[in-house]
Structure 1
Protein backbone atom coordinates (compact mmCIF):
# COMPACT_ATOMS: atom_id res chain seq x y z
CA UNK A 1 0.00 0.00 0.00
CA UNK A 2 1.25 3.43 -0.81
CA UNK A 3 2.13 6.00 1.80
CA UNK A 4 -0.45 8.54 0.55
CA UNK A 5 -3.24 5.97 0.82
CA UNK A 6 -2.27 5.39 4.46
CA UNK A 7 -2.29 9.13 5.09
CA UNK A 8 -5.70 9.36 3.42
CA UNK A 9 -6.96 6.65 5.77
CA UNK A 10 -5.57 8.52 8.79
CA UNK A 11 -7.28 11.72 7.64
CA UNK A 12 -10.56 9.88 7.22
CA UNK A 13 -10.33 8.54 10.78
CA UNK A 14 -9.57 12.03 12.09
CA UNK A 15 -12.33 13.75 10.13
CA UNK A 16 -15.00 11.19 10.88
CA UNK A 17 -14.12 10.13 14.43
CA UNK A 18 -11.86 12.81 15.91
CA UNK A 19 -8.32 12.90 17.23
CA UNK A 20 -8.91 10.47 20.09
CA UNK A 21 -9.84 7.78 17.58
CA UNK A 22 -6.58 8.14 15.66
CA UNK A 23 -4.74 4.95 16.51
CA UNK A 24 -2.46 2.82 14.39
CA UNK A 25 -5.01 0.00 14.60
CA UNK A 26 -7.82 2.29 13.38
CA UNK A 27 -5.74 3.55 10.47
CA UNK A 28 -4.65 0.05 9.47
CA UNK A 29 -8.26 -1.13 9.60
CA UNK A 30 -9.47 1.87 7.55
CA UNK A 31 -6.72 1.31 4.98
CA UNK A 32 -7.43 -2.45 4.92
CA UNK A 33 -3.80 -3.33 5.62
CA UNK A 34 -2.14 -5.23 8.39
CA UNK A 35 -0.75 -3.23 11.26
CA UNK A 36 2.69 -4.43 10.13
CA UNK A 37 2.05 -2.94 6.69
CA UNK A 38 1.25 0.39 8.32
CA UNK A 39 4.25 0.17 10.66
CA UNK A 40 6.54 -0.35 7.65
CA UNK A 41 5.74 3.22 6.56
CA UNK A 42 4.94 4.80 9.94
CA UNK A 43 6.56 3.10 12.93
CA UNK A 44 4.74 5.32 15.44
CA UNK A 45 1.60 7.40 15.70
CA UNK A 46 3.86 10.47 15.93
CA UNK A 47 5.51 9.54 12.63
CA UNK A 48 2.09 9.18 11.04
CA UNK A 49 0.87 12.49 12.43
CA UNK A 50 4.09 14.24 11.44
CA UNK A 51 3.63 12.96 7.90
CA UNK A 52 0.06 14.31 7.85
CA UNK A 53 1.30 17.75 8.87
CA UNK A 54 4.22 17.63 6.44
CA UNK A 55 1.99 16.69 3.52
CA UNK A 56 -0.39 19.58 4.16
CA UNK A 57 2.46 22.07 4.43
CA UNK A 58 4.27 20.77 1.35
CA UNK A 59 1.11 20.74 -0.77
CA UNK A 60 0.16 24.27 0.23
CA UNK A 61 3.70 25.61 -0.28
CA UNK A 62 3.81 24.08 -3.76
CA UNK A 63 0.41 25.48 -4.67
CA UNK A 64 1.31 28.99 -3.45
CA UNK A 65 4.57 28.87 -5.42
CA UNK A 66 2.74 27.68 -8.53
CA UNK A 67 0.22 30.52 -8.35
CA UNK A 68 2.83 33.15 -7.47
CA UNK A 69 4.95 32.05 -10.44
CA UNK A 70 2.05 32.79 -12.79
CA UNK A 71 2.57 36.43 -12.04
CA UNK A 72 1.91 38.50 -9.02
CA UNK A 73 2.99 38.65 -5.45
CA UNK A 74 3.39 35.96 -2.84
CA UNK A 75 0.11 37.06 -1.27
CA UNK A 76 -1.73 36.74 -4.58
CA UNK A 77 -0.38 33.20 -4.79
CA UNK A 78 -1.46 32.59 -1.18
CA UNK A 79 -5.01 33.79 -1.90
CA UNK A 80 -5.30 31.83 -5.15
CA UNK A 81 -3.98 28.66 -3.49
CA UNK A 82 -6.32 29.11 -0.53
CA UNK A 83 -9.38 29.48 -2.72
CA UNK A 84 -8.36 26.64 -5.01
CA UNK A 85 -8.56 24.41 -1.96
CA UNK A 86 -11.41 26.07 -0.06
CA UNK A 87 -13.77 26.33 -3.01
CA UNK A 88 -13.15 22.79 -4.28
CA UNK A 89 -16.47 20.96 -4.50
CA UNK A 90 -15.47 17.95 -2.40
CA UNK A 91 -13.90 19.91 0.44
CA UNK A 92 -11.43 17.10 1.03
CA UNK A 93 -8.37 19.34 0.99
CA UNK A 94 -9.92 21.68 3.56
CA UNK A 95 -10.65 18.64 5.70
CA UNK A 96 -7.06 17.47 5.17
CA UNK A 97 -5.69 20.69 6.62
CA UNK A 98 -8.10 20.55 9.54
CA UNK A 99 -7.17 16.92 10.22
CA UNK A 100 -3.45 17.68 10.24
CA UNK A 101 -3.85 20.67 12.55
CA UNK A 102 -6.07 18.69 14.90
CA UNK A 103 -3.62 15.81 15.00
CA UNK A 104 -0.67 18.13 15.61
CA UNK A 105 -2.39 19.95 18.46
CA UNK A 106 -1.57 17.16 20.90
CA UNK A 107 2.19 17.59 20.78
CA UNK A 108 4.58 20.53 20.85
CA UNK A 109 6.97 18.55 18.65
CA UNK A 110 4.26 17.99 16.06
CA UNK A 111 3.15 21.62 16.18
CA UNK A 112 6.65 22.90 15.41
CA UNK A 113 6.56 22.34 11.62
CA UNK A 114 3.11 23.89 11.43
CA UNK A 115 4.20 26.88 13.54
CA UNK A 116 7.23 27.34 11.29
CA UNK A 117 5.02 27.21 8.19
CA UNK A 118 2.57 29.72 9.68
CA UNK A 119 5.47 32.04 10.45
CA UNK A 120 6.78 31.70 6.90
CA UNK A 121 3.30 32.25 5.41
CA UNK A 122 2.38 35.26 7.53
CA UNK A 123 5.63 37.09 8.33
CA UNK A 124 6.96 37.95 4.92
CA UNK A 125 9.74 40.36 4.03
CA UNK A 126 7.95 43.73 3.66
CA UNK A 127 9.88 44.35 0.45
CA UNK A 128 8.10 41.44 -1.24
CA UNK A 129 4.75 43.23 -1.48
CA UNK A 130 3.70 46.62 -2.89
CA UNK A 131 1.64 47.24 0.28
CA UNK A 132 2.93 44.94 3.05
CA UNK A 133 0.25 45.81 5.62
CA UNK A 134 -2.62 45.14 3.23
CA UNK A 135 -0.92 41.92 2.14
CA UNK A 136 -0.76 40.81 5.79
CA UNK A 137 -4.43 41.65 6.33
CA UNK A 138 -5.41 39.67 3.23
CA UNK A 139 -3.36 36.61 4.21
CA UNK A 140 -4.83 36.71 7.72
CA UNK A 141 -8.34 37.01 6.28
CA UNK A 142 -7.69 33.96 4.09
CA UNK A 143 -6.34 32.11 7.12
CA UNK A 144 -9.49 32.98 9.07
CA UNK A 145 -11.60 31.71 6.20
CA UNK A 146 -9.74 28.39 6.41
CA UNK A 147 -10.77 28.10 10.05
CA UNK A 148 -14.40 29.03 9.45
CA UNK A 149 -14.64 26.67 6.47
CA UNK A 150 -13.17 23.81 8.51
CA UNK A 151 -15.70 24.33 11.29
CA UNK A 152 -18.66 25.04 8.99
CA UNK A 153 -18.24 22.91 5.87
CA UNK A 154 -20.69 24.01 3.24
CA UNK A 155 -21.14 27.38 4.93
CA UNK A 156 -20.20 29.25 1.77
CA UNK A 157 -21.49 28.69 -1.73
CA UNK A 158 -19.24 28.68 -4.79
CA UNK A 159 -20.52 32.16 -5.60
CA UNK A 160 -19.67 33.43 -2.12
CA UNK A 161 -16.17 31.98 -2.32
CA UNK A 162 -15.71 33.61 -5.74
CA UNK A 163 -16.84 36.99 -4.38
CA UNK A 164 -14.53 36.73 -1.37
CA UNK A 165 -11.61 35.73 -3.59
CA UNK A 166 -12.23 38.69 -5.93
CA UNK A 167 -12.45 41.12 -3.02
CA UNK A 168 -9.23 39.86 -1.43
CA UNK A 169 -7.39 40.09 -4.74
CA UNK A 170 -8.85 43.57 -5.36
CA UNK A 171 -7.45 44.69 -2.01
CA UNK A 172 -3.99 43.79 -3.20
Structure 2
Protein backbone atom coordinates (compact mmCIF):
# COMPACT_ATOMS: atom_id res chain seq x y z
CA UNK A 1 0.00 0.00 0.00
CA UNK A 2 1.23 3.46 -0.81
CA UNK A 3 2.09 5.88 1.97
CA UNK A 4 -0.33 8.46 0.62
CA UNK A 5 -3.27 6.06 0.98
CA UNK A 6 -2.30 5.52 4.61
CA UNK A 7 -2.03 9.27 5.14
CA UNK A 8 -5.42 9.75 3.47
CA UNK A 9 -6.92 7.24 5.90
CA UNK A 10 -5.36 9.05 8.86
CA UNK A 11 -6.60 12.42 7.60
CA UNK A 12 -10.14 11.17 7.16
CA UNK A 13 -10.15 9.77 10.70
CA UNK A 14 -8.87 13.06 12.08
CA UNK A 15 -11.36 15.14 10.11
CA UNK A 16 -14.35 12.96 10.94
CA UNK A 17 -13.65 11.90 14.52
CA UNK A 18 -10.93 14.13 15.97
CA UNK A 19 -7.53 13.44 17.48
CA UNK A 20 -8.73 10.83 19.95
CA UNK A 21 -9.64 8.57 16.99
CA UNK A 22 -6.13 8.65 15.55
CA UNK A 23 -4.71 5.30 16.60
CA UNK A 24 -2.51 3.07 14.51
CA UNK A 25 -5.12 0.31 14.67
CA UNK A 26 -7.88 2.67 13.49
CA UNK A 27 -5.74 3.99 10.62
CA UNK A 28 -4.84 0.46 9.52
CA UNK A 29 -8.51 -0.54 9.68
CA UNK A 30 -9.61 2.54 7.72
CA UNK A 31 -6.93 1.90 5.09
CA UNK A 32 -7.82 -1.79 4.86
CA UNK A 33 -4.34 -3.04 5.79
CA UNK A 34 -2.91 -4.96 8.69
CA UNK A 35 -1.38 -3.00 11.53
CA UNK A 36 1.95 -4.52 10.47
CA UNK A 37 1.44 -3.08 6.98
CA UNK A 38 0.96 0.34 8.50
CA UNK A 39 3.93 -0.07 10.84
CA UNK A 40 6.15 -0.88 7.87
CA UNK A 41 5.65 2.71 6.65
CA UNK A 42 5.00 4.48 9.97
CA UNK A 43 6.53 2.69 12.96
CA UNK A 44 4.90 5.05 15.48
CA UNK A 45 1.93 7.36 15.73
CA UNK A 46 4.41 10.25 15.93
CA UNK A 47 5.96 9.20 12.61
CA UNK A 48 2.47 9.18 11.08
CA UNK A 49 1.67 12.66 12.42
CA UNK A 50 5.05 13.97 11.21
CA UNK A 51 4.25 12.68 7.73
CA UNK A 52 0.81 14.30 7.83
CA UNK A 53 2.29 17.64 8.86
CA UNK A 54 4.98 17.38 6.18
CA UNK A 55 2.42 16.64 3.51
CA UNK A 56 0.18 19.63 4.27
CA UNK A 57 3.19 21.94 4.36
CA UNK A 58 4.37 20.61 1.00
CA UNK A 59 0.87 20.97 -0.44
CA UNK A 60 0.66 24.61 0.67
CA UNK A 61 4.13 25.36 -0.68
CA UNK A 62 3.09 23.85 -4.03
CA UNK A 63 -0.11 25.87 -4.05
CA UNK A 64 1.77 29.10 -3.36
CA UNK A 65 4.19 28.18 -6.13
CA UNK A 66 1.32 27.69 -8.57
CA UNK A 67 0.28 31.34 -8.08
CA UNK A 68 3.73 32.95 -8.23
CA UNK A 69 4.35 35.19 -11.21
CA UNK A 70 7.02 37.76 -12.02
CA UNK A 71 5.21 40.86 -10.80
CA UNK A 72 6.52 42.93 -7.88
CA UNK A 73 5.32 41.56 -4.55
CA UNK A 74 4.08 38.35 -6.17
CA UNK A 75 4.81 36.17 -3.14
CA UNK A 76 2.19 37.73 -0.87
CA UNK A 77 -0.45 37.72 -3.61
CA UNK A 78 0.31 34.03 -4.16
CA UNK A 79 0.10 33.40 -0.41
CA UNK A 80 -3.31 35.10 -0.23
CA UNK A 81 -4.64 33.25 -3.28
CA UNK A 82 -3.39 29.92 -1.93
CA UNK A 83 -4.99 30.64 1.45
CA UNK A 84 -8.34 31.46 -0.10
CA UNK A 85 -8.20 28.41 -2.32
CA UNK A 86 -7.84 26.31 0.81
CA UNK A 87 -10.62 28.22 2.60
CA UNK A 88 -13.10 28.23 -0.27
CA UNK A 89 -12.05 25.43 -2.60
CA UNK A 90 -14.18 22.42 -3.26
CA UNK A 91 -12.45 20.34 -0.59
CA UNK A 92 -12.36 23.12 2.04
CA UNK A 93 -8.88 21.89 2.89
CA UNK A 94 -8.61 24.03 6.01
CA UNK A 95 -10.56 21.28 7.80
CA UNK A 96 -7.83 18.78 7.03
CA UNK A 97 -5.15 21.22 8.16
CA UNK A 98 -6.96 21.95 11.40
CA UNK A 99 -7.29 18.29 12.23
CA UNK A 100 -3.64 17.56 11.47
CA UNK A 101 -2.39 20.54 13.45
CA UNK A 102 -4.52 19.45 16.41
CA UNK A 103 -2.77 16.08 16.28
CA UNK A 104 0.65 17.77 16.24
CA UNK A 105 0.48 19.30 19.69
CA UNK A 106 3.87 17.97 20.77
CA UNK A 107 6.50 20.69 20.17
CA UNK A 108 8.69 18.23 18.27
CA UNK A 109 5.81 17.28 15.96
CA UNK A 110 4.92 20.95 15.43
CA UNK A 111 8.52 21.99 14.65
CA UNK A 112 8.18 21.60 10.85
CA UNK A 113 5.07 23.79 10.89
CA UNK A 114 6.87 26.37 13.00
CA UNK A 115 9.71 26.41 10.48
CA UNK A 116 7.23 26.73 7.61
CA UNK A 117 5.51 29.65 9.36
CA UNK A 118 8.85 31.42 9.71
CA UNK A 119 9.48 30.85 6.01
CA UNK A 120 5.99 31.87 4.85
CA UNK A 121 5.79 34.98 7.00
CA UNK A 122 9.43 35.98 6.88
CA UNK A 123 9.68 35.45 3.13
CA UNK A 124 12.06 38.04 1.73
CA UNK A 125 10.73 39.42 -1.53
CA UNK A 126 13.14 42.06 -2.84
CA UNK A 127 10.58 43.09 -5.46
CA UNK A 128 7.94 43.86 -2.82
CA UNK A 129 7.11 47.59 -2.99
CA UNK A 130 5.69 47.63 0.58
CA UNK A 131 7.02 44.82 2.80
CA UNK A 132 5.07 46.05 5.85
CA UNK A 133 1.73 45.99 3.99
CA UNK A 134 2.57 42.54 2.68
CA UNK A 135 3.30 41.29 6.18
CA UNK A 136 0.00 42.72 7.44
CA UNK A 137 -1.94 41.06 4.61
CA UNK A 138 -0.26 37.67 5.18
CA UNK A 139 -1.00 37.93 8.90
CA UNK A 140 -4.62 38.85 8.17
CA UNK A 141 -4.92 35.82 5.87
CA UNK A 142 -3.42 33.63 8.59
CA UNK A 143 -5.83 35.05 11.16
CA UNK A 144 -8.81 34.50 8.87
CA UNK A 145 -7.71 30.89 8.38
CA UNK A 146 -7.61 30.44 12.15
CA UNK A 147 -11.06 31.97 12.62
CA UNK A 148 -12.63 29.89 9.84
CA UNK A 149 -11.03 26.76 11.30
CA UNK A 150 -12.75 27.39 14.62
CA UNK A 151 -16.00 28.86 13.27
CA UNK A 152 -16.82 27.22 9.92
CA UNK A 153 -19.67 28.95 8.18
CA UNK A 154 -18.99 32.30 9.85
CA UNK A 155 -18.30 33.76 6.41
CA UNK A 156 -20.14 32.63 3.30
CA UNK A 157 -18.47 32.29 -0.10
CA UNK A 158 -19.45 35.80 -1.15
CA UNK A 159 -17.97 37.32 2.01
CA UNK A 160 -14.78 35.32 1.61
CA UNK A 161 -14.46 36.40 -2.03
CA UNK A 162 -14.87 40.04 -0.95
CA UNK A 163 -12.19 39.63 1.72
CA UNK A 164 -9.81 38.09 -0.80
CA UNK A 165 -10.38 40.93 -3.27
CA UNK A 166 -9.81 43.50 -0.52
CA UNK A 167 -6.60 41.86 0.70
CA UNK A 168 -5.25 41.70 -2.84
CA UNK A 169 -6.26 45.33 -3.43
CA UNK A 170 -4.28 46.38 -0.35
CA UNK A 171 -1.19 44.94 -2.02
CA UNK A 172 -1.75 46.92 -5.21
CA UNK A 173 -1.48 50.33 -3.55
TM-score (norm 2): 0.91
State whether structure 2 residue 127 is matched by structure 1 residue 149.
no
| Equivalent residue pairs, number | 170
SS in 2 for 1:83: helix
* Cα pair distance change 1:44/1:147, threshold 3 Å: same
How many Å separate the matches in 2 of 1:70 and 1:99?
34
* Cα pair distance change 1:37/1:70, threshold 3 Å: farther
Per-residue deviation, 1:74: 0.5
Per-residue deviation, 1:30: 1.5
User: CA RMSD of the aligned region, Å?
Assistant: 1.5
**Other-structure match for 1:32:** 32
After TM superposition, where is structure 1 displaced by more than 6 Å over at least 4 residues in a row? none
CA offset digits 1:81-128 (Å, max 9, x no partner): 11111111332x1112112211111x1111110000000011122634
How many Å separate the matches in 2 of 1:158 and 1:98?
19
**2:75 touches 2:125 (CA, 8 Å); kept in 1?**
no
Map 1:82-101; keep pairs closer than 5 Å: 82-91=83-92, 93-101=93-101
* Cα pair distance change 1:128/1:103, threshold 3 Å: farther
State whether structure 2 residue 60 is matched by structure 1 residue 60.
yes
TM-score (norm 1): 0.92
Deviates more, 1:153-162 or 1:51-60: 153-162
SS in 2 for 1:69: coil
